[in-house]
Amino acid sequence: MTDTSDGRVRADAVRNRQAIIAAARAAIEDAGTDVALEEIARRAAINVRTLYRHFPTREDLLADVVENYFAERIEPALRRAIADPDPRRALTTTLTETTAAFVEHRTMFALSNSGARTAGVTARYLKPLSEILSRAQQAGVVRADIVPSDFPCLVAMLVAGAGPHGDDWSRYLALLLDGLAPEAASAPLPGIPEGSRPVTERAEARKT
C-alpha cells in the first residue's frame, strides 16, 4: 500500500469515527442513553461492524461522546475562567457556563454520570476546577470547606432547578453564589466530602 493510500485509509477512519460520535450524540439527544447501536450506525451511514471496530463496547462510545462534548463546551469555559484575573468572576463564569451547557443538553449531563469510563472523563476536569476554586478561596471570596468535587453536585442542583424550557436556573445560581461566600457559613459543612473517594468508585457505587 502506498503512502497516499495509507493516508486515505487513515482519513476515512478519522471521518468514520467523527461521524459515529456525532451520530451517537444526536441519537442520544433524541432517544436517550439506551439508544440502540444499530440506530447510531444507521445515522452515521456505516455498518455496525465498522462501529464496533472503532468502539468495541457501548461504554467506549459513550465516553468519547462525553469527552467530545466537554471539549466543545466545558473546556473553553474553564480556560476563560482560569484566564480571568478576578477570582469571584472566574468562579461565577465556571458555574454559569457549565450549567448553561448542561441545561441546553441535559442528556449530556446524565451521560457524564452514567458509568466509570464517562465519570473518568468528568474527573479530568476537576484539576482546572481546583485551580479556580483555590484562587477564590485564597482571595477570601469562597468558604474554605468547599472542595472541587462539590461542583458536579452544585451543577446538578442548578440543572434540576431549571424549568422545562431552560429558564429559572439563573435565579438559583445567584442564591448559590451567595451561599458560597465565607460570611454565609454559620458552621462547617457536615459529612465527608464526596471527593474523598475516587470518581470512578463513586460511579460504580451508583450502579449498586
Out of 86-90, 95-99, 149-153, 199-203, least confident range: 199-203
Compute the half-sphere exposure of residue 55: CA atoms within 13 Å on the CB side of its CA: 25
Q: For the chain, what percent of residues have pLDDT higher than 90?
A: 59
Residue in 9, 4, 8, 18 with CA at minimum distance from that of residue 46: 18
Q: Is the pLDDT of residue 3 over 70?
A: no
Q: Report domain extents, the chain.
A: 1-56, 58-207
Is residue 68 within 8 A of residue 52, CB to CB? The reply is no
Nearest to 15 by CA among 54, 61, 67, 57: 54
Give CA separation, 118 vs 94, 161, 189, in Å: 20, 23, 28
Over the stretch 76-92, which tens digit does the pLDDT of each residue have? 999 999 999 999 999 99
Can you give the pTM of this predicted structure? 0.79
8-12, 29-33, 99-103: least confident range: 8-12
- Domain 58-207, what architecture? Orthogonal Bundle (1.10)
Angle ∠(159,136,182) on CA atoms, nearest 5: 85
pLDDT value for 32: 87
User: What is the rounded average pLDDT for all residues in the chain?
Assistant: 86
pLDDT grade, residue 4 (50/70/90)? low
**What fold, for 1-56?**
Arc Repressor Mutant, subunit A (1.10.10)
How would residue 73 be classed by pLDDT, with cut points 50, 70 and 90?
Answer: very high
Task: Find all residues with CB under 8 Å of 169, minimum gap 6, and list them.
Answer: 99, 103, 158, 159, 161, 162, 163
In total, the chain counts a number of residues equal to 208
Of 8-17, 67-76, 149-158, 188-197, the one with minimum mean pLDDT is 188-197
Helix (H, G, I), strand (E, B) or coil at 57: coil
**Residues 6+ positions from 174 with CB-CB distance below 8 Å:** none
The reported pLDDT for the residue numbered 154 is: 92
